[in-house]
Structure 1
């Protein structure tokens, strides 16, 4: 691990002074005085001031000014337009491959069914026991309804699924491999291109969950030949509670996309209101219902800030913040009985650090009462979410010092 000085607050202040992304902190609305540090941006990002301005402008000018006419003057196209903007800023995906719509759960269900429909006759789905619950539950419901066999991988909770793990279980009956690029508990960063290549060599497709990676690390969906990907936009993208999610489908599959939630917006010539369902051409076939416009506008603002800062610079700061946190933890928290439940190698670590101790649940509650907003994850993990754009090194140091004092 690269050693970063973290012993003193002055060291943190020096890192802030040298931070090329420091000015972006002013883009976010200020926190209330009772918050010492916000270290839960990997669950819910802080709000950009531009989102409030965008919503007010939309309400006063477009909604009030154009009323129902707005649907035919651009509103209906926002799922694809904003999808293209986020794809260019953070996904490494070409125009026409990404839409913003629905929730991650709904999009994951759509993507899984679309992938399974492309592999008829194959009955195995590979997934891991430590993936986010919604992914596991959706897969279990599909297994029940479609008579699938689930092949469970069981990586260590402080790690994640490796390419070798996948290679050991895929075969000519595997339809889909579905994993998260960054594990929500440990922050383990999976080797997406290697795992995708292994799945394809077995004739299977991949569905990647990007919830903890979009906006925090580099993603190259097209270059990695990913089949489908989904992910939320309320974490590092910062589009707000319940913001619509992303859904990516590789262009090679567009001529035969078949997802299960047939809604009017995914039909060819939506406004003709014809009898029977005929899917739209291309990525629009993955849509279902009316676009959530306010959420889309918030995603647009988040994508714009990511594009301006540059995802490479964002990733570099995420690495620096996690290295800083680990340096402090090794020096001050491990002697207090904490263990590190995240990878030591920054190449295999995402934008958060998890520390673990038997009393983590109770300690998390006391930390939140003290103004350090972290995230407890059962059975004994405290997640320290390090959103690169709004978070300073000094804020992190202050939070870690509170953890040390309360521990």
Structure 2
């Protein structure tokens, strides 16, 4: 049996942490332990001033000139180029725009059309049954519109869908790289290679990956990817999402379904007929928000600041150390309280979160923790979910979070009726 982990040991880890200076980039509420950065990232200190500058100077003083003088017109590409550095893409391949759902609709439409043009017999979209709902809703909508079948399978059944008769009818494999509920991470390179061998394309959702775990889209030979700007990229609530397409899918004219004016080859010629822009710009649709993009850029910069301290490899190392620590502390200190770990213990299969399952009272336990200043979240059924953002979390925060969890469970305070009310879910 391993010796008990002490608070002092956690403090020693913080003292030796090469990423510790990055915490100063954020405005964190005093006394709060924030373990929900996988839902909404913390506020960077630079964001408020940058947004105020956009509002007061670029908009307030320079007005419409700022589309040119402040570079508003190119902002989606500039932020996209920064995100590209975090996901293994090249400059000019990523665009920051719209929402994850809208971007998924665009790239999945293009992927389906591409496969159908090559082999009209391929009419099946495969995804994980427990994938994030918006991804499934978008896929279901497109399947209904274009006569495809959306086939939902368990995670362990995915490889079988990529071979034999199933593989012959597969058009697109749609997966979220890190599962939102369990934190389980799919092997991107292996599944992409298997799908390609079957003749299909792959669309990856990086909502719970970008900024938290290393992603190598080019090395994995992925086809398309979308991702969220307000989780680990710290872009603020409702921040623009991002979209990536491999250059091989951008060689010709890209006719995505939302052909708005910003995706036109010459948007300011105002011609009645649509002609798509070249490259990833073809996936733009309507007018971008300079205010939202400025906030997102500040958030992305907080992640890029890790490059000087070891980059995403260092971020990943700290993430694994924190999730290992949390899991070990729960095992040592919460035994007998009905908790089971749902997140893989094998680092190769784990994102930057730990999900615990409890049959009774999981929602109320999360609410009781929030009342104590430990912010995680709940996912039905029975999941207590804790996200670990290495940029601003400390190892001592992990120890303190588990200490509060122990007290909530031992005291039974979660049974208080106010913690069972579900008018709002954090």
Name the TM-score class by shorter chain: over 0.9
Higher relative contact order (CA 8 A, sep 6+): 1
User: Distance in 1 between the 2:7 and 2:255 partners?
Assistant: 55
User: Distance in 2 between the 1:385 and 1:189 partners?
Assistant: 14
Contact 2:322 2:395 in 1 (8 A): yes
- 1:336 is paired with a residue of what secondary structure? coil
Contact 1:340 1:354 in 2 (8 A): yes
**Match of residue 20 from structure 2:** 22
User: Distance in 2 between the 1:276 and 1:392 partners?
Assistant: 55
Equivalent of 2:293, from 293, 296, 306? 296
User: Distance in 1 between the 2:406 and 2:4 partners?
Assistant: 13
**Match of residue 274 from structure 1:** 271
Structure 1 residues 388 and 6 mapped into 2: Cα distance closer, same or farther (>3 Å)?
A: farther
User: Distance in 1 between the 2:381 and 2:35 partners?
Assistant: 19
Equivalent of 2:81, from 80, 84, 96? 84
In the TM superposition, 1:32-51 aligns within 5 A as: 32-33=30-31, 35=32, 37-51=33-47
Equivalent of 2:189, from 193, 211, 225? 193
Contact 2:379 2:385 in 1 (8 A): yes
Equivalent of 1:403, from 402, 405, 419? 405
Q: Paired residues, what number?
A: 398
**Match of residue 417 from structure 2:** none
Instruction: Give how far 1:59 is off.
Output: 2.3
User: Distance in 1 between the 2:373 and 2:194 partners?
Assistant: 45
**Match of residue 284 from structure 1:** 281
Q: Note the residue ranges of structure 2 that are not aligned, 5 or more in a row.
A: 410-426
**Match of residue 8 from structure 1:** 6
Q: Note the residue ranges of structure 1 that are not aligned, 5 or more in a row.
A: none
User: Distance in 1 between the 2:106 and 2:2 partners?
Assistant: 43
Instruction: Give how far 1:6 is off.
Output: 6.5
Structure 1 residues 236 and 185 mapped into 2: Cα distance closer, same or farther (>3 Å)?
A: same
Contact 1:117 1:258 in 2 (8 A): no
Contact 1:126 1:170 in 2 (8 A): no
User: Distance in 2 between the 1:349 and 1:161 partners?
Assistant: 19
Equivalent of 1:52, from 36, 48, 52? 48
Equivalent of 1:365, from 343, 364, 367? 367
**Match of residue 380 from structure 2:** 378
1:62 partnered with 2:64: no
Deviations 1:300-336 (A, max 9, x none): 2222222220111111111111011111011112332
**Match of residue 412 from structure 2:** none
**Match of residue 346 from structure 2:** 345
Contact 2:40 2:230 in 1 (8 A): yes
Structure 1 residues 5 and 296 mapped into 2: Cα distance closer, same or farther (>3 Å)?
A: farther
Equivalent of 1:182, from 178, 182, 195? 178
User: Distance in 1 between the 2:97 and 2:48 partners?
Assistant: 20
- 1:219 is paired with a residue of what secondary structure? coil
The list of structure 1 runs, each at least 4 consecutive aligned residues, that deviate by more than 4 angstroms after superposition, is 3-6, 160-170
* 24-33 vs 395-404, greater mean Cα deviation: 24-33
Contact 2:46 2:298 in 1 (8 A): yes
User: Distance in 2 between the 1:170 and 1:97 partners?
Assistant: 32
- 2:81 is paired with a residue of what secondary structure? helix
User: Distance in 1 between the 2:28 and 2:356 partners?
Assistant: 27
